Amino acid sequence: MAQWILAGLTLGLGLGSGPLAGQTLPAAGGGNLERLERRWNELDRQIRALDQLLPAEAEPLPGERPGTPAPPESRVGPPASAAAPGPPEAAIPLPALALPQADSLRQGQLQALSLEQSLAIGFANSPSLQARREEVAAALAELQSQMGTYWPRISAYAAGGTDQQSTSFFSPTGSGTLFAPSSPFFIPPGGRASFNTNANAVAAGLQLRYELLDFARTPKARAALASLRSTRLAYADALRRLQLSLSESYYQLQRADQLVRIREAVVSNDLLILQDSLDLKQAGLVPRLDVLRRQAIEADGQELLIAALAERLIARRRLAAQLNLPPELTPVASDPIRLQPRWPLDLEDSLLASYRDNPELEALLATREALLRQKDAVAAGLLPRLSLFASAGASANNANSWNVRVADGGCCGATVATSLNTYGSDWSVGLAVSWLLFDAGTTRGQALALARRGAAVAQQYAAQRDDIRLRIEQAFFGHEASLARLVAARRGVKASLEAFRDARLRYQAGLSSELDLSNTQERLITSLVQRLEATVNVNVTYAQLLRELLPMPTDPAAPVPARLQWGP
**pLDDT tens digits, 545-561:** 999 999 999 999 999 98
Residue 563 falls inside a structural domain: no
pLDDT: which is higher, 544 or 104: 544
227 and 190 within one domain? no
pLDDT digits (tens, 9 = 90+) for 455-499: 999 999 999 999 999 999 999 999 999 999 999 999 998 998 899
**pTM for this one?**
0.78
Q: Based on the domain organization, do 324 and 366 belong to the same domain?
A: yes
Task: Report which of residues 561 and 305 the model is more confident about.
Answer: 305
**pLDDT computed for residue 483 by the predictor:** 94
| pLDDT(141) > 70 | yes
CATH assignment at residue 119: 1.20.1600.10
pLDDT score at 500: 85
Residue 379 maps to a domain: no
Q: Are residues 455 and 519 in the same domain?
A: yes
Does 294 lie in the same domain as 324?
yes
Residues paired with residue 161 on neighbouring β-strands, in sequence order: 201
Q: Which of 413, 434, 455 is the last residue of a domain?
A: 434
Same domain for 310 and 423, yes or no, is: no
Which backbone phi and psi does 353 adopt, to 5 degrees? -70, -30
Contact between 486 and 538 (Cβ < 8 Å): yes
Answer yes or no: is 22 within a domain. Answer: no
For residue 160, what are the CA distances in angstroms to 97, 189, 396? 45, 41, 9
Q: Are residues 184 and 128 in the same domain?
A: no
Question: Both 227 and 274 in a single domain?
Answer: yes
- Asked whether residue 502 carries a pLDDT value surpassing 50, the answer given is yes
> Does residue 14 form part of some domain?
no
**Structural domain tally of the chain?**
2
Mean pLDDT over the full length of the chain: 83
Q: State yes or no: pLDDT of 288 exceeds 60.
A: yes
Query: Are both 206 and 229 inside the same structural domain?
Result: no
Return the higher-pLDDT residue of 178 and 84. 178
Q: Which residues pair with 332 in a beta bridge?
A: 112
- Residue type at 301? G
364 and 456 share one domain: yes
Residue 54 has pLDDT above 60, yes or no: no
Beta-bridged to residue 205, according to DSSP, are: 157, 393
pLDDT at 223 over 70: yes
pLDDT digits (tens, 9 = 90+) for 165-184: 888 888 888 777 777 777 77
User: Which helix (H) or strand (E) covers residue 179, if one does?
Assistant: none
Least confident of 29-38, 333-342, 491-500: 29-38
Domain that holds residue 414: 153-213+385-434
pLDDT: which is higher, 416 or 109: 109
Nearest residue to 307 (alpha-carbon basis) of 271, 256, 266: 256
CA distances from 305 to 95, 262, 354, 509 (A): 37, 9, 41, 30
Q: Is position 497 within any domain?
A: yes
pLDDT digits (tens, 9 = 90+) for 105-133: 665 678 889 999 999 999 998 999 999 99
Residue 131's alpha-carbon distances to 48, 95, 226, 363, 493, in angstroms, are 59, 13, 19, 17, 47
Question: Do 547 and 240 meet the contact criterion of CB atoms below 8 Å apart?
Answer: yes
Q: Is pLDDT above 70 for 78?
A: no
Query: How far is residue 387's CA from residue 383's CA, in Å, rounded to a whole number?
Result: 13
Answer yes or no: do 127 and 271 share one domain: yes
Domain co-membership, 429 together with 467: no
User: Which pLDDT score, from 0 to 100, does residue 402 have?
Assistant: 82
Kindly state whether residue 11 falls inside one of the protein's structural domains: no
Q: Is residue 203 part of a domain?
A: yes
Is residue 26 pLDDT above 70, yes or no?
A: no
Asked if residue 202 and residue 224 are part of one domain, the reply reads no
Checking if the pLDDT of 220 tops 80, the result is yes
Asked if pLDDT for residue 159 goes beyond 70, the answer is: yes
Query: Mean per-residue pLDDT for 145-157?
Result: 93
DSSP secondary structure letters along 449-479: HHHHHHHHHHHHHHHHHHHHHHHHHHHHHHH
Q: Which of 205, 211, 171 is nearest to 188 (CA)?
A: 171
Question: Starting at the edge strand that comes first in sequence, how are the strands of the sheet with 419-434 ordered?
Answer: 153-171, 191-213, 385-407, 419-434
Query: Can you give the pLDDT at residue 506?
Result: 85
In a domain, 232, yes or no: yes
Residue 9 has pLDDT above 70, yes or no: no
Q: Are 113 and 87 within 8 A, CB to CB?
A: yes
